[in-house]
Structure 1
Amino acid sequence: MLLKILLPLMTATVLITADYVRPPPRKTLHFPLDHKSSSHPQQVHISLAGNKHIRVSWITSDSSSPSLVEYGTSPGKYNFKGHGDATSYSYLLYSSGSIHHTVIGPLEHNTVYYYRCGGQGPEQSFKTPPTEFPITFAVAGDLGQTGWTKSTLDHIKLCEYDVHLLPGDLSYADYIQSGWDTFGELVQPLASARPWMVTQGNHEKENIPFFKDGFESYNARWKMPYEESGSTSNLYYSFEVAGAHVVMLGSYTDYDENSDQYNWLKADLSTLDRKKTPWLLALFHVPWYNSNTAHQGEGDKMMEAMEPLLHAAGVDIIFAGHVHAYERTKRVYNGKSDPCGVVHVTIGDGGNKEGLAHKYKDPSPEWSVFREASFGHGELKIVNSTHAFWSWHRNDDDEPVRSDEVWITSLISSGCDPKDNKEAREVLWSP
């Protein structure tokens, strides 16, 4: 019955530009000095690491602390152990602690595990995602470390989600490396309990010409399953969970037709089994379809290079950040509405210190459906192989107010199978 009531939303075409009056952004959070022992695990977070495996990451100030994770399905009973490795980095006058990464598994799906890092410290727990529908993703980008960030995280905690997707701009440390440490502490309660899958944004660059390459802090701290997906860079990778194949791309690394990222993406998409993964999602930082006046045109070159590939593969939804506001489009391709195109969602509204992007283009493009300059988060519940329910929750009232929602039908079930499309075959499967 619920499906019958909400199905008309899938074809809604009326543009909504909300007139909600946003309060100003809140101040950056302040964190007390940490007096824990040098071997105490801090900034714990987890990520998916291939089929039935989880990567546990944490930091200790003691370089001799072991990269050991003990875990089991009962509190205080650790029947299994995983051993990993540790790295560290220096940045100007800053020296990181030991950054530990340990892959554990194989794990049972949809199961709560209890674990301990480094042989000591408090017991943590996480829940593995399911291997079949339904599955729920929480989505929020451009987080930062403000009071609004905390509101966003508090609201995400209320959502019964399985995996968090973050399309770039995590800590807003912006060269001040201690900002990465405070961000790690801020997100630990959520990031240690559910997998966080992230990609980089412009605030992760932190490059200093002739002295420091970009993304050193990001790559050291937030290791993603790039090797498991055949990628050679932590800046782009893919993973599969339940019936979804998710592609995480880099807006700030080479993406033209001669680049490693482009060639990897083409190879990744050309081998998909859409019976196994009927849903195809993509994330990157800079939006391609954006009617906000902020960051206009910044994604055009990447779109020119990669949009044909993603369209040919039948991507259902693209999530982007960068613009500090929310916007959802119709299915669109090559600048126009297209029933076999992609739904683009800009969700760079996690709560960062730079505030909101208030101004939109007027008149709006015909492909824009809903737009609002507010902080918030999104939830994507993929119900089955044909239908998913997307909702966006404004948090400016300190309550997660559902402001936008729509049922989305998968392209594969809508007669848009790329293998039936000659143009798609030429783009995706040509030499």
Structure 2
Amino acid sequence: MEVLKLLLFPTLFLATVTAEYVRPLPRKTLPILRDSFSRTHSSYPSQVHVSLAGDKHMRVTWITDDNHSPSFVEYGKASGRYDSIAEGESTSYSYLLYSSGTIHHAVIGPLEDNTEYFYRCAGKGSEFQLKTPPSEFPITFAVAGDLGQTGWTESTLAHIDQCKYDVYLLPGDLSYADYMQHLWDNFGTLVEPLASTRPWMVTEGNHEKESLLFLMDGFVSYNSRWKMPFKESGSTSNLYYSFEVAGVHVIMLGSHTDYDEYSEQYRWLKADLSKVDRTRTPWLLVLFHVPWYNSNKAHQGAGDDMKGAMEPLLYAAGVDLVIAGHVHAYERSKRVYNGGLDPCGAVHITIGDGGNREGLAHRYINPQPKWSEFREASFGHGELKIVNSTHAFWSWNRNDDDESVKADDIWITSLVSSGCVDQKRHELRSVLMTS
């Protein structure tokens, strides 16, 4: 028996070691992509993506190299048969020696819920196909921040493409162009296969702020290319807005614009929260770039000022889930408020691990804070399936080489169903009425 143990021990030890997850190496930045149509035909649409634009409407965005190309979208429910047309608008911008193509935006609708539509931009080029979100539960969101343009970005996008999601949420740091404007075009081409089929709802990160002292508006590239429904939600800035879909109210905040109690964003947030009807939208989600709860040594404390200003508003409103990026790792909290565990606080998720070129943030603070439930420095994406008015299932899937492996999951109960929202009604009214 002792001999048998000695013979088996190396095998058992080897199995134990090899079963542990070994983090893969970084991957290189992707080469410049070329769209064969737009390269040979300046009026052909490229970099096509869609986003929600108010109740039962979607915005289609595309770019052409021809500044005389018209801004309209033909669409219908059968391939090649377009029974509707929507006129749009166009813009462009210059950045030092770079001049963008013509950036077109057209809002189509009203559209039927949970329905496939075929569309073509400006009457030329490829036909695209999109699916509108459902009007009721269940609904699934794909989530990943800090995408960039590396081999890991490709892997993340491939995994997102495999999941049956309705809307993609991106909490900042899209292209990592970082002043090199042609990389915005490259990013648009990279994400078109996914972004042209499902609405992409994004907010800005620090890598979108390409400001030049006294010369350039820091967000001219981002605002020109990724127009979100800020006007539809009563906001005066494309850097923060909200939207509703299938029983969920989603607020996209700006970590890189003013957010103190005297700011326009703060005033808008109070007004937006006051309009939320939890009987119609029992789930309340908030996204922004810089996390408020972060036990990684990277960017430690970077979100404290925004947290100090806005966390009381979100807590009083009964926000269920807060999602951020910026830190290139994954972390999920327990329900937390004001630095401590609170059954009526939000679950905070950091998911800045989409595939950026800066690599992963490996170092964590130890011991792990009581509010921190799970953390890992790996590339990956999240999936949030809101099943009904009371329960949602969250999972985080790491990029284990080129396989998507579920590494963390949890059922989340809505604060409405737990009674927290009813308890906070007087508190919310008091907070919203203060100047």
Q: TM-score range with shorter-chain normalisation?
A: over 0.9
Residue of structure 2 aligned with 1:63, choices 59, 67, 81:
67
Counterpart contact for 1:418–1:425, Cα < 8 Å:
no
| Alpha carbons of structure 1 residues 276 and 117: separation in structure 2 relative to 1, 3 Å | same
Q: Which has the larger radius of gyration?
A: 2
The equivalent position to 1:233 in structure 2, one of 231, 237, 253, is: 237
Is the aligned partner of 1:30 residue 2:31? yes
The one of 119, 123, 128 equivalent to 1:115 is 119
1:200 aligns with 2:192: no
Percent identity reads 72
Deviation of the 1:427 alpha carbon: 1.2
Letter in 1 for 2:25: P
Shift in Å, 1:24: 2.1
Match of 1:73 in 2: 77
Query: How far, CA to CA, are the matches of 2:232 and 2:283 in structure 1?
Result: 20
Alpha-carbon shift at residue 418 of structure 1 (Å): 5.0
Structural mapping, 1:385-424, within 5 Å: 385-417=389-421, 420-424=424-428
The answer to whether the Cα contact below 8 Å between 1:321 and 1:347 also exists between their aligned partners in 2 is yes
TM-score with structure 2 setting the length: 0.94
Alignment partner for residue 257 of structure 1, among 256, 261, 276?
A: 261
Q: Do structure 1's residue 328 and structure 2's residue 332 form an aligned pair?
A: yes
SS of residue in 1 equivalent to 2:411: strand
Distance 1:420 1:252 in 2: 29
Q: TM-score by structure 1 length?
A: 0.95
Distance change (3 Å), C-alpha of 1:169 and 1:32: closer
Residue 104 (structure 1) aligned with residue 108 (structure 2)? yes
Q: Detail structure 1 runs of 4+ shifted over 2 Å in the superposition.
A: 18-21, 31-36, 418-425, 428-431
Task: Give the count of matched residue pairs.
Answer: 414
Distance 1:245 1:235 in 2: 17
Distance 2:32 2:424 in 1: 55
The 1-side partners of 2:172 and 2:123 are apart by 32
Q: Secondary structure at the match of 1:354?
A: coil
Match of 1:84? 88
Q: State the 1:36 CA deviation.
A: 3.1
SS in 2 for 1:408: strand
Aligned to 2:228: 224
In the alignment, structure 1 segments of 5+ residues that lack a partner are 1-17
The letter for the 2-side match of 1:268 is D
Match of 1:140 among 129, 144, 152: 144
Kept after mapping to 1: 8 A contact 2:33/2:190: no
* Preserved CA contact (<8 Å) 1:281 1:317: yes
CA deviations over 1:4-25 (Å, ceiling 9, x no partner): xxxxxxxxxxxxxx97331222
- 2:43 maps to 39
Aligned-partner Cα distance in 2 for 1:333–1:19: 34
Paired amino acid for 1:415? G
Which residue type is aligned with residue 252 of structure 1? Answer: H
How far apart are residue 417 of structure 1 and its match?
1.2
Q: Please state how far the C-alpha of 1:420 moved relative to its aligned partner.
A: 4.2
> For residue 201 of structure 1, what is the amino acid of its counterpart?
G
- Distance in 1 separating the partners of 2:204 and 2:230: 13
Matches within 5 A, 1:377-392: 377-392=381-396
Q: How far 1:426 sits from its partner (Å)?
A: 1.6
Aligned: 1:94 with 2:95: no
User: Pairwise CA RMSD of aligned residues?
Assistant: 1.2
Structure 1 counterpart of 2:22: 21
Distance 1:36 1:136 in 2: 38
Give the residue type in structure 1 aligned to 2:313.
L
Higher relative contact order (CA 8 A, sep 6+): 1
How has the CA–CA distance of structure 1 residues 273 and 39 changed in structure 2, closer, same or farther, with 3 Å as cutoff?
same
Q: Distance in 1 between matches of 2:134 and 2:33?
A: 37
- Among 163, 176, 181, the residue aligned to 2:180: 176
Matches within 5 A, 1:223-302: 223-302=227-306
Q: Deviations over 1:49-77 (max 9, x none)?
A: 00000000000000111111000000000
How far does the alpha carbon of each residue in 1:136-163 deviate from its partner, in whole angstroms, 9 at most, with x for none? 0000000000000000000000000000
